[in-house]
Amino acid sequence: MHYDNFFATYLQHLKSEGRYRVFVNLERMVGKAPLALWHHDQIVEEVVVWCSNDYLALSQNPEVVEAMVAAAQTYGSGSGGTRNISGTSHPHVKLEQAIANFHRKEAGLLFSSGYVANEAAISTLASNLPGCIVLSDEKNHASMIQGIRNSRAEKYIFRHNDLADLEAKLKQLPQTQPKLIVFTAVYSMDGDRAPAAEICALAKQYNALTFIDEVHAVGMYGASGAGLSELLGIQDQVDIIQGNFAKGFGVIGGYITGNKNLVDFVRSAASGFIFTTSMPPATAVAILKSMELIENGQKLRAQFWQQVNYFKQQIAKTDLPYRESQGHIVPVVVGDAALCKEICDRLLYEDKIYIQPINYPTVPVGQERLRITITPAHTRDHIDQLLTALQRVYADYKLSKAA
Ligand SMILES: Cc1ncc(COP(=O)(O)O)c(C=O)c1O
C-alpha cells in the first residue's frame, strides 16, 4: 500500500467534484459582529459574515466574555479531569441544574459538544434498552446518525417530517418493544421545523421514547428561549431534549435533559460522557451568564426575529431560488457543488460577503446551496447589500426560482 497515494487520490477526487473544503481564515472581533477580518493571499480584509451559528451574537456579549475571563482567573483554564475523577467543579453542577430548570425537566447532563451529546446519549440508550428500535427522521444530523450506527440497534428511517410514514413504521412494531424516535426541532440545512407535538402524540400512542435535537432552536425559540418544545408547550411531552451552547448561546458544549433516572442512566453508562475531560469551569460560568441573558432575552429575540423577518420579506420580492420555512435559516439553492463554491468565492472576493458553500455530504447531491443565517447584529443595510449581490451573481449563472 502506498499510503500517501491513497490520501492524495482521495483529496483529488474531492477537488474534481468541487467538494474540497477550503476554510476561510477569519479573525473575529468582539463588538464588531457581523464583521470579521479575512486573512488571505498575504492581505487582510473586512468581510460581512452571513453563515455563522452565533445566532444572537452572544459570543461577543461583554457580560458573557467578562464572566468567562473572571472565572478563568478564579478556577484556571482547565477542569483537571473527567467528571468522575476530579473534573466536577461547582459551575458544572450549577449548570446541569440550570439546564434542567431551563427546560422544566428533572435533571441535566453536560457534554463537550452537541455532537458528543447526540452520539453518546443516542448510542447509549439504543444499545442498552433491550431490543430497542430507533426511528429516525431522514434529515437528522450526522451526530445523531453516528449515535444510531454506534448503538448497532435496528433502525427505521422515516421520511422527513412525515407523520404518516412514522406512524406506518410504528404500527409494525409490538407495543411492548422499546422504541426511540429521534428528530430535530429546527433542521439545520433547510430551516424547517418538526411537527414535534404530533410526533410526541404518536410516541405516546405507540409507547415510544422521544429524543429532540434543539441545537438550532435554543436561544431563539420559545418565550424564555428554551426552544421549539417550549414554543409549542410540549416540554413535558418530550422525553429527552438535547441542545448545545455553541450556537444561540455563543459558547461551546452540549447537553441532554430529561427525567432523573434516564439522565442518571446516561451519566452512568455513556462512554462519550465518562471517558473525557469535562469542559473548563470558566466555560460553564460563561454559559450560565449566557443562559441568564437568554432567559431574560425577550428584547434580543424580538430584534433577532425582526431582522430574520425583514430578510424573508425582502428575499420574497426577488427571483432567488430560496427555500421558504418557518425557521430562521434561509437556504438559497444552487444545485451543483463546483458552482456553489464559485458563487461563494465571487461573493467573497467581489463583495466581501462570506457565505460558506454547503455541499455533499452535508446536503444531498443536487441540493448544494448557500445557507444564510441572520443575526440581530446584521443591519437592514447589510441585508439589502447581500440581496443585491446575490441577485447579481445568481443572475450571471441564470439561477432563479423558475430555473
Ligand atoms: C442539528 C445539529 N445537531 C448537533 C450539532 C452538533 O453540535 P456542536 O456543534 O455543539 O457539536 C449540529 C451542528 O453543529 C447540528 O446542526
Same domain, 253 and 148: yes
Confidence label for 402 from pLDDT (cuts 50, 70 and 90): confident
Question: Is residue 266 domain-shared with residue 312, that is, in the same domain?
Answer: no
CA atoms of 281 and 107, how far apart (whole Å): 19
Are residues 206 and 189 both part of a single domain?
yes
**Is 393 domain-assigned?**
yes
Is there a contact between 325 and 190 (Cβ–Cβ < 8 Å)?
yes
Asked about 179 being catalytic, the answer comes back as no
- Same domain, residue pair 244 and 320: no
- Asked whether residue 42 is domain-assigned, the answer is no
Instruction: Say if 10 falls within a structural domain.
Output: no
Mutating to test ligand 1, I would choose from 143, 146, 329, 356 the residue with most ligand atoms within 8 A of its C-beta, which is: 143
Taking a C-beta distance cutoff of 8 angstroms, is the pair 181, 157 a contact? no
pLDDT tens readout for residues 251-260: 999 999 999 9
Range of the domain at 383: 298-336+344-403
Q: Is the pLDDT of residue 403 over 80?
A: no
Ligand 1 atom nearest the C-alpha of 187 is 1
In a domain, 28, yes or no: no
List residues near ligand 1 (CB under 6 A). Answer: 113-115, 118, 141, 143, 184, 188, 213, 215-216, 244, 246, 254
Q: Residue 145 has which C-alpha cell?
A: 446518525
Q: Tell me, in angstroms, the distance from the centre of ligand 1 to residue 272's CA.
A: 15
Residue 386 is predicted with a pLDDT of: 98
Domain check: are 177 and 243 in the same one?
yes
Number of domains in the chain: 2
Question: Is 1 a member of any domain?
Answer: no
The pLDDT tens digits for 64-76 are 999 999 999 999 9
Going by alpha carbons, the residue nearest to atom 16 of ligand 1 is 188
How many angstroms is it from 227 CA to the middle of ligand 1? 15
CATH number for 349: 3.90.1150.10
In a domain, 3, yes or no: no
pLDDT digits 0-9 by tens, 110-154: 999 999 999 999 999 999 999 999 999 999 999 999 999 999 999
Marked catalytic residue, from 139, 169, 179, 247: 247
Whether the CB-CB separation of 248 and 219 falls below 8 Å is answered with yes
pLDDT class for 186, splitting at 50, 70, 90? Answer: very high
Across the chain, mean pLDDT equals 97
Residue 110 and residue 144 in one domain: yes
Helices 62-75, 281-295: axis angle to 10 degrees equals 150
Residues 320, 257 share a domain: no
Q: In what order do the strands lie in the sheet with 209-213?
A: 107-111, 254-258, 240-244, 209-213, 179-184, 133-137, 154-158
Atom 7 of ligand 1, nearest CA residue: 114
Beta-bridge partners for 210: 181
Q: Residue 144: which CATH number?
A: 3.40.640.10
Q: Write down the pLDDT at residue 150.
A: 98
Q: Is the C-alpha dihedral spanning 310, 299, 218, 240 positive or negative?
A: negative
